[in-house]
Amino acid sequence: MENAKEKMIFQADDFDRLPPPSQTDAAIARKQTTYWKDVWRTFKKNRTAAVSLAVIFLLILLVVFGPMMNEFDYRTNDYSALNQSPNAVHWFGTDNMGRDIWTRIWEGGRISLLIAVLATLIPEVIGMIIGGVSGYFGGWLDTLIMRFIDVLMGIPSLIYMILLMLVFGSGSIMTLIVAMSLTGWMGSARATRGLVLQIKARDFVTASETLGASPWWIIVKRLIPNTLGIRVVGITMSIPSVIFYEAFLSYIGLGVTPPTPSWGQLIKAAGENFRYYPYQFIIPCVMVGITMLCFNLVGDGLRDALDPKLRG
Amino acid sequence: MGKYVLNKVLIAIATIFVLATATFFLMKLIPGDPFASLKTKAAVQEKQREYYGLDQPVTVQYFRYMGNLLRGDLGWSLKKAGRSVVDIIREAFPVSAVLGLTSLFFSVLIGLLFGILCAQFRNRWPDYLLMLVAVLGIALPSMVLGPLMRYFFGVQLKWLPVVGWGTVDKMIMPAIVLGLGTVAGETRAMRASMLGVMTQDYITTARAKGLNSAQVILRHEVKNSLVPIVTGLGPGIAGIMMGSFVVESMFLIPGLGRYFVDSITNLDYPLIMGLTIFYGAFLVTMNLLVDVVYGLLDPRIRESGKKGGK
Amino acid sequence: MAEKILDVKNLVVTFDTYQGSVQAVRDVSFHVNKRETVGIVGESGCGKSVTIRTVMGLNPKSNGSVKGGQAFFEGRDVLRLSEKEIRDILGNRMSMIFQDPFTFLNPTMQVGKQITEVYLRHHKVSRKEAEEKALSILRLISLPNPEQNMKRYPHQLSGGMRQRVMIAMALICEPAVLFADEPTTALDVTIQAQIIDLMNSLKEKTDTSIVLITHDMGVVAKMVDRLYVMYAGKIVEQGDADAMFHRPRHPYTWGLLDSVPRLDERTKEELHSIPGMPPDLIAPPEGCPFAARCRYAMKICQRQMPDAIPLEEEGHAAACWLCHPEYVKQYGVTRREGKENGQ
């Protein structure tokens, strides 16, 4: 306060009035970044998640091109080269029938990842349709579907899956995907329904009435970007659990049938003589481990990036 | 609270009913004849079908099955001569329950503790260390962890018996294999939940009261963080159960999980059916209990009857 | 001079965010006398809550940091106390009422427990005695059916009752200073009036000094003895309630006063809002932060902001070139338009 008493040297024009404030000048708002750009930026900053994403891309590349990188195929037995440790010819060694493990790993990865992706996306879409219908039409249909979902969610999906595998006959990739799809759509249906109800309450009346667009079209148009945003974490997280289910079903003898490899199948086959040929066991385990880990970490990263509350 | 519980009980009963019905008809759809594989004469197979009531129309079989179910009769095993499904459950369930509960108890306790520590030391070394454990729990499913542990602790170091059941030392490895996933899941869930609670306004109030960190954590943070965690217990129990299929087969433990896996390999239909319904009913009951506990923890839910906590 | 119970000097607080460092509080000084009610008024984001939370040591340590200043409370600089020492003061000698009585009460704890918890923390008494004390304080603030309501959970109480519970929590240890951060904002108008009346009556019944933080000049008018107006992390005007309401000198204070609806005034005057937005505190303007929104802005305002310039009345000061003796000498005193000489 004392400073004000100090002699202050003023310039001649110091007390000249400025033009009155205009709204545009005054609004020096902070630069607005778009939502997804923001999410992506936060995600990239999370080094674990970014590295995991890179590892997933690498795995996908290997799964696609790995089997072509040497001359072996996944089912030709070579009895002159049984149970070889990893070497220059067989990079990951051979199994008890002389098959090249490198090729089988990536061939198996194709199957495991294919199952994982399809058994995640198909139920997601089924759920979106059922949830969308339920929320859109409302009324008794909605009540019926929701009660049905309540009941189905109560049944442990694994048991249900096992029964379906028994019914459809285990062994084929299709069966696995169908069984997993039939047991996994409920969560997505619930989420979608909630969203549809929200959109209906907010936009549907105004937007459709003023623009004359079909409300169904508006819901679909609004639904897909919104659901993706909300479900993307769930989808990412469900891939590792599907990989785990596949491995589990293979373990109890309900997975794909040999000689078709899948990671679960490879683990099960090698687990029996782990003590003698540990590499046969460890390599597919590492693949499953890395995949599950990376998808989980990417999911974590996405969730942190999407949830502004946790941003620090 | 009464209405809330009643609603949950009704859904649970409906669930068990649907499950039993679905199981029955799905089993009828399974291709293949359980008796065909047996090396017996056609006439004998016919007699067996008649004995098991399989010659009757499906609807008759269904009502008979449901009737028996209500009386607690799950039928007879096809492959284990002279043993009823209920007998098998009675003998094997306690084994699974002891293993499962021990594992669940310790893994939930450890998981919650880890989660709390992670949240309190967010982005510092204890957090990273414990999250590494949690991450390993995710990356090592039981069929991977089991053989690894058996090899190192059983074969190499000879600290623990490789297989078997009946003594405490035989239980340690299976319990760890079974519980690691739960530890991982609970750690992550508790960490996330707690980080959410820590930014809540009422935590500021608690700190403004002059409470020390321990009091704030124990009285205000933990209880509120537990609310969403409790709902995760249902899937946790299911996870332990699922793990028990692998672990019991791997460690040769005479529990329900091993019988279930065996019954699938043997196509022992009545046993599959009985165990499926038993498992289903068990999990539904567990979920019901979880819901009730959830209602007790969060007073808001009791009244609304909805999961309005978050 | 009255005894100063709290004396904050040159407080500077910045927060690190990932967009940059936010200079939330920029050289703020204020004091609170014994048994006095002081208001700190400003738009949201002006740093008033941060100031108070810094004094109470409640800012998250990860990104909030005190860059300078002192805050003397009962003779000690609370900014330099250990965690334990500050905890012994919080809830006890210094307590706080928060804005939203719903989110600031623990949803899974009975309100009675939340009240007694404070007392048990700071006094060596039995649970029974603490409950007695809580009951007496609840009666003092006239919460209906205190015995039953103590066993209830927050969601079972109305907004006004919840705010009363908050007040009980803050008062149970008979603090020297009570900070009230927007205590009425989340409540509806009739309840607001009740809470204001209640707080006014508490001024009579207790020895507690109250610091009221709000954006609402209307609320302040009914309660405070002295007033600080804060803008963009700085105090722009301060003085006794009478001077501040009747002879304000800072254009921002005028803007705040113009935005209060007055039912007792017959003039068909428009209700004003201040145009524009507060500046970005990551890169605050060099000159007066209000210049961009000020109708009286001059060239010098863009270059430099004056320190608080003392005015004729004791304690009244404003940080505005319009009040500078040099300006007054040349152009005379500028007053709030349409309110010449106060009325």
Quick one: three-class SS letters along C276-294?
Answer: CCCCCCCCCCCCCCCHHHC
Q: Do B210 and C92 touch (CB under 8 A)?
A: yes
| Neighbour tally for A170: CB within 10 Å | 21
Best mean pLDDT range from B18-32, B282-296, C206-220: C206-220
Whether B183 and B110 have beta carbons less than 8 Å apart is answered as yes
Helix, coil or strand: residue C29:
strand
What pLDDT is recorded for position A304?
A: 76
- Identify which has the larger pLDDT, A79 or C197: C197
Q: Which of B208, B210, B224 sits opposite C106 (nearest CB)?
A: B224
- How far is Cα of residue B299 from the mean position of the Cα atoms in its chain? 27
Q: What is the mean pLDDT of chain C?
A: 84
Dist. CA C36–CA C17, nearest whole Å: 36
Compare CB distances from B276 to A150, A159, A244 and report the shortest one's residue: A159
CA distances from B212 to A137, B217, B219, B220 (A): 53, 9, 11, 11
Contact C87 B212 (CB under 8 A): yes
Side-chain-facing half-sphere of C243: CA atoms under 13 Å = 20
Phi, psi of C7 (to 5 degrees): -135, 105
The share of chain B scoring above pLDDT 70, in percent, equals 91
Q: Confidence class of residue C227 from pLDDT cuts 50, 70 and 90?
A: very high
In chain B, whose CA is at the least distance from the CA of C96? B208
User: What is the phi/psi pair of residue B221, to 5°?
Assistant: -80, -50
Whether C214 has a pLDDT exceeding 70, the answer reads: yes
What B291-297 contacts at long range (C-beta under 8 Å, 24+ apart), as own/partner pairs, is B291/B8, B292/B5, B292/B8, B293/B230, B293/B233, B294/B227, B294/B230, B294/B231, B295/B1, B295/B4, B295/B5, B297/B223, B297/B226, B297/B227, B297/B230, B297/C108
Residue-level pLDDT at C39: 92
Q: Which residues 121-150 of A have a C-beta within 8 angstroms of B?
A: 147, 150
Average pLDDT over residues B21-48: 71
- Residue from the list A1, A11, A28 with its beta carbon closest to the beta carbon of C292: A28
Residues 53-92 of C with CB under 8 A from A: 62-63
Q: Which of B90-94, B137-141, B298-302, C20-24 shows the lowest mean pLDDT across its residues?
A: B298-302
pLDDT value of position A30: 46
Per-residue pLDDT tens digits for B191-220:
888 888 888 888 888 888 888 888 888 888
Question: What is the pLDDT, as a whole number, of residue A211?
Answer: 63
Distance, CA of B116 to CA of C28 (rounded, Å): 38
Contact B276 A163 (CB under 8 A): yes
Which two tokens mark B174? 């299976």
Place of tokens 């089997």: A67
Cα dihedral: A160, A165, A168, A173 (round 10): 130
**Cβ separation of B224 and C107 shorter than 8 Å?**
yes
Q: Mind listing the pLDDT tens digit for each residue in B228-279?
A: 787 777 777 877 877 888 888 888 888 888 888 888 877 788 888 888 888 8
Lowest mean pLDDT among B127-141, B276-290, C151-165, C319-333: B127-141
pLDDT confidence of C228, banded at 50, 70, 90? very high
Q: Are C317 and A1 in contact (CB under 8 A)?
A: yes
Closest CA–CA distance from residue A222 to any residue of chain B (Å): 24
Task: Give the strand pairing for C4-17 and C64-73.
Answer: antiparallel
Assess C63–B contact: CB distance below 8 Å, yes or no: no
Q: How far apart are CA C155 and CA C137, in angstroms?
A: 21
Give the separation between CA C295 and CA C204, rounded to whole angstroms: 41
Q: Could you tell me which chains touch chain C, where touching means 3 or more CB pairs under 8 A? A: A, B
| Whether residue C200 has pLDDT greater than 50 | yes
User: Rounded to whole angstroms, how far apart are CA atoms C271 and B250?
Assistant: 79
Instruction: Nearest by CB to B26, from A163, A267, A309: name it.
Output: A163
> What mean pLDDT do residues B34-52 have?
67
pLDDT at res. B165 = 81
How many secondary structure helices (H) and strands (E) does chain C include?
12, 12
The Cα–Cα gap between C41 and A86 comes to 74
C269 vs A140, A193, B227, C242, C337, CA distance in Å? Answer: 55, 50, 53, 22, 12
- Using a CB–CB cutoff of 8 Å, tell me whether A237 touches chain B: no
B114: Cα separation from own chain's centroid: 21
CB contact under 8 A, B201 and C118: no
Whole-number pLDDT of residue C211: 92
Check pLDDT > 70 for residue B50: yes
* E strand or H helix at A225: helix A215-251
What is the model's pLDDT at position A22? 56
Handedness of CA B96, B102, B106, B112 (dihedral sign): positive
Question: Residue C266: is its pLDDT beyond 70?
Answer: no
DSSP state at residue C309: E
How high is the pLDDT of residue A27?
43
For residues C256, C262, C268, C269, the Cα torsion angle rounded to the nearest 10 degrees is 0
Across the interface, whether the CB atoms of B246 and A288 are under 8 A apart is answered no
- Sheet containing C94-97: order of strands: C94-97, C177-181, C209-214, C37-41, C226-231, C234-240, C317-318, C309-310
Cβ atoms of B27 and B65 closer than 8 Å? no
pLDDT(C203) > 90: no
Neighbours of A13 (CB within 10 A): 9
| Chains in contact with chain A (at least 3 beta-carbon pairs closer than 8 A) | B, C
Q: Which helix (H) or strand (E) holds C317?
A: strand C317-318
Asked whether the beta carbons of residue B283 and residue A156 sit closer than 8 angstroms, the reply is yes
pLDDT mean over C73-85: 86
Q: Residue with structure tokens 């018996």?
A: B161
Furthest-apart CA atoms within chain C: distance in Å? 69
Local confidence pLDDT in tens for the 312 residues of chain A: 444 445 567 777 777 777 766 544 444 444 445 667 777 777 777 788 888 899 999 999 988 887 777 777 777 777 777 777 777 777 777 777 778 888 888 888 888 888 889 988 899 889 888 888 888 787 888 888 888 887 777 777 777 788 888 887 766 788 888 888 888 888 888 888 887 777 776 655 565 556 666 666 766 776 666 666 667 777 888 888 888 888 888 887 787 877 778 888 888 888 777 778 888 888 888 888 888 888 888 888 887 777 654 443
CA distance C209 to chain B (A): 17
Contact A116, A109 (CB under 8 A): no
Q: How many CB atoms lie within 10 A of CB C248?
A: 24
Three-state secondary-structure class, residue C240: strand
How close is the nearest chain C Cα to the Cα of A268, in Å?
47
CB spacing of B210 vs C153 below 8 angstroms: no
Residue A256, phi-psi category: left (phi > 0), alpha (psi -120 to 50), beta (remainder): beta
Which of the pair, C264 or C318, is modelled with greater confidence?
C318
Q: Tell me how crowded residue A67 is: count the other CB atoms within 10 A of its CB.
A: 21
- CB contacts, 8 Å: B206 with chain C: 106
DSSP state of B37: T
Residue B220: its chain C contacts at CB < 8 A? 106, 109
